Structure 1
Amino acid sequence: MDRTFVMIKPDGVQRGIIGAVISRLEAKGLKLVAANLTMISEEKVMEHYAEHVAKPFFPSLKEYIMSGPVVAMVWEGKGSVAIVRKLVGATNPADAAPGTIRGDMAMETGKNVIHASDSDESAAREIAIHFANAEFVAYARLDEPALYE
């Protein structure tokens, strides 16, 4: 099954919208298989955002992402990376369509509530940074065909 990494950023946690974000992903039919409420370490920030380290915005991104707790999650579902990206919306909330998480819940690019993997390769890399295999939970959703066979 396809997996993707999603992180509710400090502004989403601090605003109390964890449940609203998770509800949208569950309602779409994705299955949560790992989750962790945590303060992200500097080591993980450096690894997670490695492609941005030399960019001018990185110091403020690093400070922000370490400023409060995040909810790191792994979601399963066919085509999960593309599905989650559509649900999340454009990086800049001003460009995000109404009905998307950022379009409905975020106001500025620097604090846009959520991170989602942008490719299968990124998802695999980000999942490995934040979760060990032992942290995944296998279960069947009530709407999964296997339960009805």
Structure 2
Amino acid sequence: MTAQRTLVLLKPDAVQRGLRGEIIRRLEAKGYGILALAQRTATAEELAAHYAEHEGKPFYPGLVDYMGSAPLVAIVAEGEGVIPGFRSLAGATNPTEAAPGTIRGDLAREWDLPVIQNLVHGSDSEES
């Protein structure tokens, strides 16, 4: 298997809660490298392009508003199987369903928060 690259986003809730280091530690502990890392607030245009596949879905406006509400961290990670590997490490999209040992299962199991506040995004393909 050849090395893959993927986009990992640490969402505003991860940044605000000071979880950058812990999430990056878990990523690196799995043997994945970090090729690039930047913290910034995404523009509406960037978010519209990134989440274009979800436009028109009921959760889309809230997702775009939330992701642009505060700084996030964008990481380009690399390694063998990094795309499915990071998605497994992240855990189920809904943190209340995420298994212990995953990022969301250990760090995001807040029962009263919206699902979009689930700490991380991992792309599902090299194209996305």
TM-score (norm. length: structure 2): 0.92
Q: CA deviation at 1:91?
A: 0.2
Question: Which structure: greater helix fraction?
Answer: 1
Distance 2:70 2:123 in 1: 21
Matches within 5 A, 1:62-77: 62-77=64-79
Q: Which residue of structure 2 lines up, in the alignment, with residue 44 of structure 1?
A: 46
Q: Which residue of structure 1 lines up, in the alignment, with residue 120 of structure 2?
A: 114
Counterpart secondary structure, 2:127: helix
* Structure number, greater radius of gyration: 1
Which runs of structure 1 show a deviation greater than 3 angstroms over 4 or more consecutive aligned residues? none
Q: CA deviation at 1:46?
A: 0.2
2:104 aligned partner, one-letter code: R
Matches within 5 A, 1:95-110: 95-106=97-108, 107=110, 108=113, 109-110=115-116
Distance 1:79 1:49 in 2: 23
1:21 aligned partner, one-letter code: I
Distance 1:33 1:110 in 2: 26
Q: Which residue of structure 1 lines up, in the alignment, with residue 92 of structure 2?
A: 90
> Are 1:13 and 2:15 an aligned pair?
yes
User: Deviations for 1:10-67, whole angstroms, at most 9, x for unmatched residues?
Assistant: 0000000000000000011100000100100111000000011111111111111011
| Percentage of matched positions with identical amino acids | 52
Q: Which residue of structure 2 lines up, in the alignment, with residue 31 of structure 1?
A: 33
1:88 aligned partner, one-letter code: A
Question: Which structure: greater strand fraction?
Answer: 2
Q: How many residues align?
A: 122
1:116 aligned partner, one-letter code: G
TM-score (norm. length: structure 1): 0.79
Counterpart secondary structure, 2:74: strand
